[in-house]
Amino acid sequence: MLDDFFTRALIAGIGVALVAGPLGCFIVWRRMAYFGDTLSHAALLGVALSLLLQVNTMLAVFAVSVGLSLLLLVLRRNDTLPADALLGLLSHSALAIGLVCLAFLTFVRIDLIGLLFGDILAVSKSDLAIIYAGGTFVLAVLAFVWRPLFAGTVSPELAAAEGMHPERANLIFMMLMAVVIAIAMKIVGVLLITALLIIPAAAARRLAPGPEAMAALAAGIGGAAVVGGLFGSLKFDTPSGPSIVVAALGLFIVSLLPLPFLSRSEDTRVR
């Protein structure tokens, strides 16, 4: 018989994985792994601002992530620096500013390890409601913009010529990423959010016969990683967040093996 806190952790982790999987597919297709890192590092700055201004942490993380996304779009249009250099600059700057701000908040007791690596075992019933309500919203919006977003991933010029407004779809995608990071921060922490987005999608890419199937498979692999990681954490007394990521890595390694029952397709390798 599982304890209530462990059951809540399982439900919460699976909820995050179901949302992170499909979004992670676009990160993999677009080679935007560094963008996920940038937003996750910005989450720490959001936490610092939430403590300073006495506002809800998730709202502050969402606001900072959206602001950073908009700043990135503006800087990319100016062509001042290559995209990877801009992402590196914003990522490490946001992380450093967040840590400096937290250092000045001497009147607040801060669990920095919990912020960086998450504390999924401390998830409450209200957290579950937020995760599933937010996750349902994200998946609904993603389904609505799937076609223009995918078309813009394959060929932005062709998508624009067909009137699909890929720039608008990109902006919506960035906001959805901000929502997921704000939700997932408590589950796996600032430093491990990107891994939960990328690793299941990378494993699914080698196995799925098409884009939609890859999104569904990535969600399933992420859910399996949550279950495997939490039970491994329970058995070996290891940190829960990192254990989930290690389990996801194990599933990715399995996807690399030349097993006859694992079908592979090039259809999901968007370039």
**How confident is the model at residue 264, as a pLDDT?**
55
Question: Mean pLDDT throughout 161-184?
Answer: 91
Distances, alpha carbon 3 to alpha carbons 10, 124, 225, 234, 243, in Å: 11, 13, 20, 11, 19
Query: What is the C-alpha R_g of the chain?
Result: 18
d(CA 55, CA 57): 6
pTM over 0.85: yes
pLDDT of 10 > 90? The answer is yes
Given this model, what pLDDT does residue 139 score? 97
Is residue 224 within 8 Å of residue 197, measured between CB atoms?
Answer: no
**The token pair that represents 86 in the structure block:** 């801009």
Predicted local distance difference test score (pLDDT) of residue 148: 94
**pLDDT on residue 236:** 95
Euclidean distance between CA atoms 138 and 145, whole angstroms? 11
* CA 223 from centre of chain: 14
CATH number (3.40.50.300, 3.40.640.10, 1.10.3470.10, 3.40.50.970) of 4-191 reads 1.10.3470.10
Mean per-residue pLDDT of the chain: 88
Segment 141-158 mean pLDDT: 94
